[in-house]
Chain A
Amino acid sequence: MVAVETRELSKRFASRWALRGISLSIDRGDIVGVLGPNGSGKSTLLKLLAGVQRPTSGLISVLGQTPGQDTKRRSAYLPEVDHYYPGMTGRRAIRFLGAFFPGFDSHLALRLLELMAVSPDEAFGSLSRGHRARFKLALALARQAELVLLDEPLGGIDVLSRERILHAILHEYRVGEQTIILATHELHLVEGLFDRVVILKEGRIVLAAPADQLRSQWSHSIEGIVREVCA
């Protein structure tokens, strides 16, 4: 079953094309890496899938529908920017989200904060960058959504936070049911996570294939392949 499908998807901001002619198909249950340097269109692609922005042209189908209220309810989107108020504690954020999303699992959210060693009583704004990333991820995963869209969940954070975050993702990932799309430009420690990768450069797909197939064809790491095709 297909979780996400796009046909000739394009997005223009003023005079700049952020995405051009993206056609891809992502199977349900896969963990997919959207890779490429900064400015290659990764965040824009995730925003279009999340339904927070609309395409300039082309078609998108998310969980069998055009992105909208229903797909927003069935997917969890973790934006790259910090989207919680600085004064909000984990506990309050959990209550807040529970009111919005029927499937939100408050107990799981608390467990995930604990798993990632984040105090639920500390304000978001007073956490370190790595802990803010953990906080955001715990709340996104607690949605238990069919589709999880993670935009740079590991951006510029310490190795320990990275490990905690990867463990939390693997801990909660429902094999065969949940689809995870993870955009990142840093591949350290993350390579092993992906069933497939989609490599973007200047808004276009340069390579899209199963990760192990690429390693086998190129005799190279995914990190090395991205460097090569995006050079």
Chain B
Amino acid sequence: MLRKPFDPHIPIYVQILAAFQRALARGDLTPGERAPAVRDLAMTLVVNPNTILRVYQQLEAEGFLLTRRGLGTFVTADAEVLSRLRTRLADAAATTYLEEMEALGFSREVAVERLAHVPRPVPREGDE
């Protein structure tokens, strides 16, 4: 789920929350699937289990996860909720791009047109 190690300059909670949301949006975790146990994920990422718990609580509050007493934490079975998340994250990424282009003095039309000509990044050694 997290392909890169943490950036220690950014709150770990923020990074795990964002990675989890991306995993849900991409479908790495599917509707109704069981989410990793808090301790397992804490050990995998070598982070405090309390941090994972806070992430799960936030995702629960947003309706993406639900905890069933004694059974564990599950991804919502409502595919519509996950699809809305995917749209929300895509909109956020596109907005960031457009704002940056606007700051560089490009019109929205030019910015959109430019996307078709962006060279693909050359994969670096060690990347998946």
A229 → chain B, closest Cβ, in Å? 16
- The interface size of chain A toward B, counting residues with CB under 8 Å, comes to 28
Out of A163, A195, A215, A223, which one reaches B10, CB within 8 Å?
A: A215
User: Which chain A residues border B96 with CB–CB below 8 Å?
Assistant: none
Asked if A221 meets B9 with Cβ closer than 8 Å, knowing A175-B49, A193-B46, A195-B48, the reply is yes
The reply to whether B51 and A175 contact each other, CB–CB distance below 8 Å, is no
User: Which chain A residues border B38 with CB–CB below 8 Å?
Assistant: 175
The reply to whether B11 and A170 contact each other, CB–CB distance below 8 Å, is no
Interface string of A136-169 (1 = CB under 8 A from B): 0000000000000000000000000001001100
Interface string of A192-231 (1 = CB under 8 A from B): 1111000000000000000111011001111110000000
Closest residue of chain B to A171, judged by CB? Answer: B43
Q: Does B6 contact A (CB under 8 A)?
A: yes
Asked if A189 meets B46 with Cβ closer than 8 Å, knowing A216-B11, A221-B9, the reply is yes
The reply to whether B8 and A221 contact each other, CB–CB distance below 8 Å, is yes
Task: Kindly state the separation between the CA atoms of A211 and B9 in the bound complex, as whole angstroms.
Answer: 11
User: Which chain A residues border B43 with CB–CB below 8 Å?
Assistant: 167, 170-171
The reply to whether A219 and B9 contact each other, CB–CB distance below 8 Å, is yes
Asked if A192 meets B12 with Cβ closer than 8 Å, knowing A171-B39, A171-B43, A175-B38, the reply is yes
The reply to whether A215 and B12 contact each other, CB–CB distance below 8 Å, is yes
Task: Kindly state the separation between the CA atoms of A13 and B11 in the bound complex, as whole angstroms.
Answer: 38
The reply to whether A175 and B46 contact each other, CB–CB distance below 8 Å, is no
Q: Does B110 contact A (CB under 8 A)?
A: no
Q: Does B47 contact A (CB under 8 A)?
A: yes
Q: Does A30 contact B (CB under 8 A)?
A: yes
The reply to whether A192 and B50 contact each other, CB–CB distance below 8 Å, is no
Interface-centre pick from A31, A173, A192, A194 (highest chain B CB count, 10 A): A192
B72 → chain A, closest Cβ, in Å? 14
User: Which chain B residues border A170 with CB–CB below 8 Å?
Assistant: 39, 42-43, 46, 49
Interface-centre pick from B14, B50, B53 (highest chain A CB count, 10 A): B50
The reply to whether A193 and B9 contact each other, CB–CB distance below 8 Å, is no
Task: Kindly state the separation between the CA atoms of A173 and B10 in the bound complex, as whole angstroms.
Answer: 25
Closest residue of chain A to B16, judged by CB? Answer: A192
The reply to whether A222 and B8 contact each other, CB–CB distance below 8 Å, is yes
Interface residues of B in 1-57 (CB under 8 A from A): 6, 8-14, 38-39, 42-43, 45-51, 53
A119 → chain B, closest Cβ, in Å? 23
Interface-centre pick from B8, B45, B48 (highest chain A CB count, 10 A): B48
Q: Does A122 contact B (CB under 8 A)?
A: no
Q: Does A29 contact B (CB under 8 A)?
A: yes
Task: Kindly state the separation between the CA atoms of A211 and B42 in the bound complex, as whole angstroms.
Answer: 16
Task: Kindly state the separation between the CA atoms of A29 and B42 in the bound complex, as whole angstroms.
Answer: 15
The contact sample of 8 A-B pairs, CB cut-off 8 A, is A191-B12, A192-B46, A192-B47, A194-B48, A195-B50, A213-B11, A215-B11, A219-B9
A residues contacting B by CB (< 8 A) are 29-31, 163, 166-167, 170-171, 173, 175-176, 189, 191-195, 211-213, 215-216, 219-224
Besides the known contacts A30-B50, A211-B12, 12 further A-B residue pairs in the complex with CB atoms under 8 A apart: A166-B46, A170-B43, A171-B43, A175-B39, A176-B50, A192-B6, A192-B12, A192-B51, A195-B48, A212-B51, A219-B10, A221-B9
